[in-house]
Structure 1
């Protein structure tokens, strides 16, 4: 397995552990202790970030992964996220992760609400 393939599976595992199994101990094991967060709504540091996930509204939500692209130590994931089960159309999200020493060390994200209707027939995904 190449480095890119390994890192792609690491990110896939993060989303499965969080959104499917709700296993925050497994999530914490995937995150580097020196974790750096670039999202304005979440903290840096592994322990602070996992505590944030534990308290976040989307801890009851879901993620439908559309694509994952890996290039060396960087992995981008495009997914349809609902913060809660009753969240309506949810969000289109692209997360970018950097991996170091086999763990997730840095994160950026871009989120956009999914509109109820769209001008284009192919939608956001």
Structure 2
């Protein structure tokens, strides 16, 4: 069962500590991505963030709130810069099936 803590742990491990193996449990292999800048499937997600992290650009996400109901999860967060200032507000929306994220949409409100 996916819980808010499961989601928090995933964000911390995958996005903030670049532990790509965290995707194995939570992201479905055939994950459908609606962000045109990220490839399809679990492999597409990992590939996109491997490239982002290897660019050397500072990247850190701070989760503000998680809403989890039925087959959907919404994660409200901030993308922070090195001074811990907000670069963007982000909302990730996931559809859940079989205790994994199977589909993803996102919204960015860039500050800089």
The answer to whether TM tops 0.5 is yes
Find 1:97's aligned residue among 79, 94, 97: 94
| Conservation of the 8 A alpha-carbon contact between 1:7 and 1:75 | no
* Residues 23 and 42 in structure 2, CA contact (< 8 A), matched pair in contact too: no
- Per the alignment, residue 47 of structure 2 pairs with 51
Normalized per residue, which structure has more strand? 2
Count of residues in Structure 1 that have an aligned counterpart in Structure 2: 110
Gaps of 5+ in 2: none
TM, length-normalised to structure 1: 0.75
CA shift in 2, pair 1:89/1:26, >3 Å: closer
SS for the counterpart of 1:41 is coil
Q: CA RMSD in A?
A: 2.4
> Which 5+ residue runs of structure 1 have no aligned equivalent?
116-125
1:88 positional shift: 5.6
TM-score norm. by structure 2 comes to: 0.82
Contact map agreement 1:7 1:73 (CA 8 A) in 2? no
